[in-house]
């Protein structure tokens, strides 16, 4: 799911098909079974060393220390390393794509699907940042030959073929970006087997795993690990979006009576079922939880009136439609407002184009909309820099377009990590710098910071928030990007609703 402001989705195009799933609000941490099971696929060239031997008993003992306690990423990293050990270095001397002091780079991104722009500007965002680095003289004497970025169209087979072409025929040293919504196991095998540093968006198992994923780095942390369970009957969740709501609405948790309305998609329902427990631990009152909204692959509800009536009678003063399609949220809010609902709404989708339809803008008016990256409605030096860099390459996109931050941030993280490599560059040196304890500082209020190697297996506590304004058909500022607004919660499986 892409929650960045000003996505290019048209109001007549239902984003159910080819949609981008948000990370699911789940922080993967503490003795994670998905790490041991291999959230990413296997690889013919894995990092030196094993993943360790974590038993469910050990996992339960570790997890029990943190149940019902808000955690920071640092605490999560400590817990992971205490069970799984440190990240193992990789060996080799891969110099593919390095010609003297010129590095060849390429990019592949699921920028669109079925004719709908999912992440408009992701390729241009990366190209703009790399071009800016070249104009500034490069990094540590290296400049960059950027051979382009292909739109793989949300097709896993096409994406793998495009990455293989970039590496094997164009000689790319690294993929910047590798923006992947879905993927096949062979993508991870190829990246790890060929030692291809890849920086991008991690809605793909290729970005996930402790000591199984050495070369893929997601600017959005371990997005694709969001639905994997922890061992010992423990699962984890974060409270980012609920914290954004409280801050934007200026309300106390104890005053919130929340109704959480999920869709039946596995990822959405799997995450949402733990939101009630987290909300209650924050001090909120959960008056409703259910998953009555059909999955993206199923026909939409023909009538939201019965559900709206049910929610109205719960006494909820905030409703959180955790739906896989923005149009489901719109239909639900239209029905609620038609029968007099006056409370607040947490909206997952900040799609500017939808607000140009008066009925949709009216339905979502006042909705608090959290998002994973920054919001261009908060002017800053960094926002201006991104827009200027896009103009310099004659891009039609601006910092307001949905995919720009992901592409720009991926390239910025690559360049920053490159500056930390000592001596002659190899792919292995770059990977080891990242996995030894690298911190990407982020890019102002546009792109979140990230901590490595823990970002291979957990999600970030970083979010921003905007509010829908129907009168101006736009989003207004609510919460500027906050790198640590959220917390991690561990939940026993029995806490699921």
Please write the tens of the pLDDT for every residue from 162-220: 999 999 999 999 999 999 866 656 898 999 999 999 999 866 778 877 788 899 999 98
pTM of the entire predicted model: 0.82
> CA 203, CA 191: separation in Å to the nearest integer?
15
Supply the DSSP symbol for 268.
H
Question: What are the Cα distances from residue 298, in Å, to 150, 264, 295, 325?
Answer: 31, 9, 5, 11
Of the two residues 9 and 461, the one the predictor is more confident about is 461
Complete domains list, the chain, with CATH: 240-374+465-482 (3.40.50.2300)
Q: CB under 8 Å to 164, separation ≥6 — which residues?
A: 190
Burial of 325 (0-12, 13-18, 19+ CB in 10 A): buried
> Which region among 65-79, 284-298, 395-409 has the lowest average model confidence (pLDDT)?
65-79
- 146's enclosing H/E stretch is strand 143-151
Record the tokens describing residue 486, joined without a space.
């959220």
Q: What is residue 231's predicted lDDT score, i.e. its pLDDT?
A: 47
Summarize the confidence of residues 386-394 as an average pLDDT.
Answer: 98
Q: What is residue 93's predicted lDDT score, i.e. its pLDDT?
A: 98
> CA 72, CA 361: separation in Å to the nearest integer?
36
Is 50 exceeded by the pLDDT of residue 351? yes
Q: What angle in degrees, to the nearest 10, is found between the helix axes of 404-418 and 122-135? A: 40
Strands (E), 243-374: 257-263, 285-293, 318-322, 344-345, 368-371
Q: CB under 8 Å to 136, separation ≥6 — which residues?
A: none
Supply the DSSP symbol for 346.
B
Please write the tens of the pLDDT for every residue from 210-265: 788 899 999 988 765 544 544 445 566 779 999 999 999 999 999 999 999 999 98
Q: What is residue 378's predicted lDDT score, i.e. its pLDDT?
A: 95
| Of the candidates 467, 470, 469, 466, the residue with the CA atom closest to the CA atom of residue 358 | 470
Please write the tens of the pLDDT for every residue from 426-454: 999 999 999 998 999 999 999 999 989 88
Q: CB under 8 Å to 490, separation ≥6 — which residues?
A: 29, 30, 63, 66, 67, 68, 69, 71, 230, 234, 235, 236
Question: What are the Cα distances from residue 260, in Å, to 18, 79, 228, 489?
Answer: 24, 30, 21, 18
Q: What is residue 71's predicted lDDT score, i.e. its pLDDT?
A: 78
Say how many residues make up the chain.
497
Record the tokens describing residue 12, joined without a space.
């007549």
Please write the tens of the pLDDT for every residue from 119-175: 889 999 999 999 999 999 999 999 999 999 999 988 889 999 999 999 999 999 999
Is 70 exceeded by the pLDDT of residue 83? no
**Residue % of the chain over a pLDDT of 90:** 57
Q: What is residue 223's predicted lDDT score, i.e. its pLDDT?
A: 64
Q: What is residue 153's predicted lDDT score, i.e. its pLDDT?
A: 87
Summarize the confidence of residues 333-338 as an average pLDDT.
Answer: 97
> CA 70, CA 420: separation in Å to the nearest integer?
33
What pLDDT band is residue 489 in, cutting at 50, 70 and 90? confident
Q: What is residue 290's predicted lDDT score, i.e. its pLDDT?
A: 95
Question: In a 3-state reduction of DSSP, which class is residue 148?
Answer: strand
Q: Which residues pair with 98 in a beta bridge?
A: 103
How are beta strands 216-218 and 198-202 bridged, if at all?
parallel
Helices (H), 283-351: 305-312, 326-338
Q: What is residue 233's predicted lDDT score, i.e. its pLDDT?
A: 54
């Amino acid at each position: 799911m892409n929650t960045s402001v000003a996505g290019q989705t048209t109001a007549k195009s239902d984003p159910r098909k080819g949609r981008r799933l948000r990370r699911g609000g789940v922080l993967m941490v503490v003795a994670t079974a998905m790490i041991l099971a291999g959230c990413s696929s296997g690889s013919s060239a894995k990092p030196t060393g094993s993943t360790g031997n974590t038993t469910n008993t050990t996992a339960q003992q570790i997890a029990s220390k943190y149940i019902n306690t808000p955690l920071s990423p640092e605490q999560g990293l400590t817990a992971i390393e205490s069970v799984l050990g440190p990240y193992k270095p990789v060996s080799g001397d891969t110099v593919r794509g390095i010609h003297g002091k010129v590095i060849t780079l390429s990019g592949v991104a699921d920028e669109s699907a079925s004719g709908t722009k999912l992440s408009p500007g992701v390729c241009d965002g990366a190209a703009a940042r790399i071009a800016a680095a070249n104009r500034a003289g490069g990094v540590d004497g290296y400049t960059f030959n950027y051979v382009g970025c292909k739109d793989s169209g949300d097709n896993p087979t096409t994406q793998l073929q495009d990455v293989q072409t970039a590496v094997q025929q164009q000689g790319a040293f690294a993929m910047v970006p590798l923006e992947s919504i879905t993927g096949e196991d062979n993508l991870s095998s190829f990246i790890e087997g060929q030692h291809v540093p890849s920086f991008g968006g991690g809605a793909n198992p290729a970005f996930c795993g402790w000591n199984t994923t050495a070369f893929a780095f997601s600017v959005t942390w371990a997005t694709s690990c969001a639905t994997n369970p922890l061992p010992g009957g423990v699962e984890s969740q974060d409270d980012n979006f609920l914290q954004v709501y409280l801050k934007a609405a200026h309300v106390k948790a104890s005053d919130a009576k929340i109704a959480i309305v999920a869709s039946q998609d596995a990822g959405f329902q799997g995450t949402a079922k733990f939101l009630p427990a987290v909300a209650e631990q924050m001090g909120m009152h959960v008056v409703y939880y259910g998953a009555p909204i059909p999955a993206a692959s199923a026909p939409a509800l023909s009538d939201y009136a019965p559900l709206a009536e049910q929610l109205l009678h719960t006494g909820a003063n905030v409703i959180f439609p955790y739906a896989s399609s923005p149009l489901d949220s719109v239909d639900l809010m239209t029905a609620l407002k038609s029968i007099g609902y006056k409370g607040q709404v947490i909206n997952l989708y900040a799609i500017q184009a939808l607000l140009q339809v008066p009925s949709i803008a009216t339905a979502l008016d006042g909705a608090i909309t959290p998002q994973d990256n920054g919001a261009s409605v908060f002017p800053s030096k960094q926002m201006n820099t991104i827009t200027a860099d896009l103009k310099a390459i004659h891009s039609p996109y601006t910092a307001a377009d949905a995919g720009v931050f992901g592409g720009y941030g991926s390239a910025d993280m690559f360049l920053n990590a490159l500056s930390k490599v000592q001596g002659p560059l190899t792919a292995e040196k770059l990977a080891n710098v990242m996995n030894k304890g690298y911190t990407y500082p982020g890019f102002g209020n546009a792109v979140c910071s990230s901590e490595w190697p823990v970002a291979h297996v957990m999600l970030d506590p970083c979010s921003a928030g905007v509010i829908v304004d129907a009168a101006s058909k736009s989003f207004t500022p609510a919460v500027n990007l906050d790198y640590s607004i959220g917390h991690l919660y561990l939940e026993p499986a029995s806490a699921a609703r």
